[in-house]
Amino acid sequence: MHFIDTAIIRVKAGDGGRGAVSFRREKYVPKGGPDGGNGGKGGDVILVADPHLRTLLDYRYQPTYTAPNGRHGEGGNRTGQSGEDLILRVPCGTLVRDACSGELLGDLIHPGQRLVVARGGRGGRGNAAFASPTNRAPRIAEPGEPGQERTLKLELKLLADVGLVGFPNVGKSTLLSVISAARPKIADYPFTTLSPVLGMVRLGPEQHFVVADLPGLIEGAHLGRGLGHQFLRHIERTRVLTVLLESTSNDLHGEYATLLQELERYDPTLLAKERLICLSKADLLTPEQRQQLSQLCIEGQTPLLISAVTGEGIPELLARLWEALQRAQHSVTASLSAAS
């Protein structure tokens, strides 16, 4: 299950500055020697892996990135200022290829890891560098080297932040289709979803997360029954689980317990993840059923009633998931800093 997020961008490093042609002019020195300084180096374009970023989506909006040129050299042997490097932050796990040749340029895995993707041009030499015993007053200087230019293909294999788990046919894929742009297959029979599908939920410019829709689980899944077990490994690295039960079921407690048991038997650490319990298809409830469900409490939680058809409960679900992800993030950061 790899949902690949890609972006194609054009990067151009800064050109080197031109060398200067200049001669010393001082009081009482009628014929000064050459003193044209070298041009400055152009800025590099550097990609840096940033653990706070999760997607490459923002790179789709701006396709070209140019680092500043080096300044030209000046008289008085002054070297031109170098152009500043242009730093582009990408999520950890970004693969970088040359889009034309397909050549792999690097794999930015570790936070802070850097990759120079386009080198700035060297500055040209000023005329002072060309002085020789036979030519003491050279009138030549070099132009700066052009900065490298290239088209990059960035690819990110996304890991899911949230896993949707539940029995077959409860509406997991439908839910994913209303909260993201993903278009999983939806049908009124069990085991419609045969392999996991990922979708990106966007709440705002800086707020997005990835949700995995998994094939339905059934009792005995940990023993290999049904399909879900093959895919449980995909939720091992999610940070939050959404457990979906059908609101019209008459044994919610029992179904919840069965699901949890399957998760636990597969991998007990799955139970350490924060779980959000949701009841799907709320649009099918009668007012009496609704009334009863408002009293329901599972593991100290009042399950959230949602409907992919009417949109009921969906904004609240997304807000709660976002909060849970923030909490999970903090606990990871805290345990990392405790470990170091």
Ligand X SMILES: Nc1nc2c(ncn2[C@@H]2O[C@H](COP(=O)(O)OP(=O)(O)OP(=O)(O)O)[C@@H](O)[C@H]2O)c(=O)[nH]1
Residue among 82, 173, 180, 247 that touches Mg ion (CB under 5 A):
173
* Interacting residues toward ligand X by CB under 6 A: 166, 168-174, 186-188, 190-193, 215-216, 280-281, 283-284, 307-309
> Least distance in Å: CB of 228 to ligand X?
8
Q: Between 69 and 108, how does the x/- string for binding to Mg ion read (CB under 5 A)?
A: ----------------------------------------
x-or-dash string of contact with Mg ion, 190-219, rule CB under 5 A: --xx--------------------------
Phi-psi region of 49 (alpha: psi -120 to 50; beta: other; left: phi over 0): beta
By CB under 5 A, the residues from 121 to 140 that bind Mg ion are none
Bridge partners (DSSP) of residue 74 are: 78
Output 23 or 191, the one with its CB closest to ligand X: 191
Q: Under the criterion CB under 5 A, does residue 113 sit at the interface with Mg ion?
A: no
CB 196 within 8 A of CB 275: no
Residue 313: what are its φ and ψ, rounded to 5°? Answer: 75, -10
Residue 244: CB minimum distance to ligand X, A:
7
- If the CB atoms of residues 193 and 242 are measured against ligand X, the closer one turns out to be 193
Using alpha carbons, list the distances in angstroms from residue 94 to 7, 103, 234, 332: 10, 14, 19, 21
DSSP state at residue 28: T
Rounded to a whole number of angstroms, the minimum distance from the CB of residue 109 to Mg ion is: 32
With beta carbons less than 8 A apart as the criterion, state whether 308 and 174 touch: yes
Query: 3-state DSSP call for residue 234?
Result: helix
Q: Based on CB atoms, which residue is closest to ligand X, 76 or 224?
A: 224
What distance in Å separates the CA atoms of residue 169 and residue 149, rounded to the nearest whole number? Answer: 51
- For the record, the structure tokens of 136 come out as 């003491």
